[in-house]
Amino acid sequence: MQPTQASESGSDPVLDADLAELISGASAECALQAERYRRIDSAVRRAVAIADPLGGRPSLDEQFARRSITAELALVLRVHERTMVGLIYEAGQLCGTFTNTLAELSGGTITVRHAREILAAAVFLPPALHVRFEREALGKARTMNVSAFHKAVARIRDRLHPDALAERVATSRADRRLVFEPDADGMAWLHLYLEAEKALAISTRVGDLATEAQKEAAEAAGPEADEATGEVTGETADGILGSGTHAQLEADIAAELLLGLPAGSPDGESSHIPTLAFSRPEVFVAVPKLTIGIDTLIGTSEEPAELHGYGPIDADTARRLVTQAPTLHRILTDPLDGTPLQLDPTQYRMSKSLRRWILYRDETCRFPGCTRKAERSETDHTRAWENGGLTVEANLAVLCKKHHRLKHNSRWRVEQVGRGNLRWTSPGGREYMTVPSRIQHAPPRAGPPDAESASALEPPARFPDTPPF
């Protein structure tokens, strides 16, 4: 096959065609995103209009109509509800005040990221300045990439803002927070949002400690230091272990400062640095057939364990956490499907061991797509107690406060279909199944609960509380 020859002008016709196709595709994608915003805004407006046809003051019905349509749109678009809340806000702004931005997006002259930069910056400005801000920002957006535009739009916002920077900083302090984000292979991210000077001071201090530790370790290691990778191993004069690259040392030292754990060391010894108090793990030991599941604990198996709130962890880490745990709870489980064999008596007010099991079984809120931790949620009777529902595992599930209220104040419906599985039906008639995080088994039967599922609502045999393992 002969290579394509360039034209006399020096351009490659195939390359030109590819670039033209990319430009056309990008423009079509922008137009599609703009239309999606219009559809989202239309759906929300219709849902609210149905809930509050008189268009009066926002009522409780309107609030739950918004929550309900938010949940359904999130499931239809397969995004988290928090993401959907943001999309609904963006759609409302673009179909309201910022219609010029929506028009530019629809025409492909800006991207959705440019549009989001405009909306994100406009939040900090009084509504009276939005039109002027949009006009100036769009003038920059048409010719800048997103990175350059982010800086430009920040300058426009700061120039137009009527309040002094000190006042805005005081307001923003209310948003400071710490966010935990699980990642793969036993790792996770910890995001800390706080005042810039504090964040910079922490970063600088940790960086200085890492540099000092690496320098002292290099002096101790001498020729053994790895010049190719910049990695050294040794112990500094003040006891901080210097091992790894500079970035790894920074992470180790940050962990030491927060937890009091020797940097890079998993043995849990006390640190020389004053630290924040932190909670020790509460360990659940699942024991199928009373002996198999305990092999990892006693060291005869390297089967991974489960860290509640995170997921699989290696056996060595699990055994180390067990040595630090003040409490060890035994949960007897069926060897075939993992369901509990030992539960407490049925009462409206559930026993501690039953609640502990439900939290462990579900791990998160059981509404479709919700990831709110079980410990920060509520335990709900799927079939209400006053309607004959029993306080047994087959009639209990974890729901966060928001979705618990949504269940009782909207047209969302839920039913237990056996083995802890929940079938949710949205106001639009769509069905969604949620499965307990801790139990793996065959999919439940479709249709209404059968005799076997119904019998699961009967009270289990009474067992005494299990003492700590």
Average of per-residue pLDDT values in the chain: 75
Query: What pLDDT, in 10s, does the model give residues 37-80?
Result: 999 999 999 998 887 654 555 566 788 999 999 999 999 999 99
3-class secondary-structure state, position 214: helix
pLDDT value at residue 194: 81
| Residue of 49, 30, 71 whose CA lies nearest to 405 | 71
pLDDT value at residue 211: 81
Mean per-residue pLDDT for 118-132?
94
- Evaluate if residue 369 carries a pLDDT over 60: yes
Which residues 6+ apart lie within 8 Å of 375 measured at CB? 309, 359
Strand pairing class (328-333; 283-288)? parallel
Higher pLDDT, 46 or 297: 46
- Evaluate if residue 329 carries a pLDDT over 90: no
| Contact of 430 with 362, CB cutoff 8 Å | no
CA of 343: how far to CAs of 216, 307, 391, in Å? 57, 22, 11
Query: What pLDDT, in 10s, does the model give residues 428-468?
Result: 889 999 988 765 433 333 334 333 333 333 333 333 333 33
- Evaluate if residue 177 carries a pLDDT over 60: yes
CA angle 185, 191, 196 (to 5 degrees): 150
Which residues 6+ apart lie within 8 Å of 373 measured at CB? 309, 363, 364
| Contact of 394 with 361, CB cutoff 8 Å | no
Q: In the chain, helix, strand, coil percent, each to 5?
A: 50, 15, 40
Which amino acid is residue 131, in one-letter code?
V
pTM of the model: 0.63
pLDDT value at residue 209: 81
Read off the pLDDT band of 99 (50, 70, 90): very high
Mean per-residue pLDDT for 16-29?
88
Read off the pLDDT band of 277 (50, 70, 90): very low
| Residue of 178, 176, 206, 180 whose CA lies nearest to 194 | 176
The phi, psi pair for 415, rounded to 5°, reads: -145, 150
Distance CA(397)–CA(416), nearest Å, equals 9
| DSSP states of 150-204 | HHHHHHHHHHH--S-HHHHHHHHGGG-EEEEEE-STT-EEEEEE--HHHHHHHHH
- Evaluate if residue 335 carries a pLDDT over 70: no
Read off the pLDDT band of 247 (50, 70, 90): confident
pLDDT value at residue 285: 52
Which amino acid is residue 263, in one-letter code?
A
What is the number of helices (H) and of strands (E) in the chain? 15, 13
- Rg over alpha carbons for the chain, rounded to the nearest Å, is 29
- Evaluate if residue 404 carries a pLDDT over 90: yes
Q: What is the 3-state secondary structure (H, E, C) of 307-329?
A: ECCCEEECHHHHHHHHHHCCCEE
Q: Where are the domains of the chain?
A: 19-174, 176-278, 283-326, 352-455
Mean per-residue pLDDT for 156-185?
83
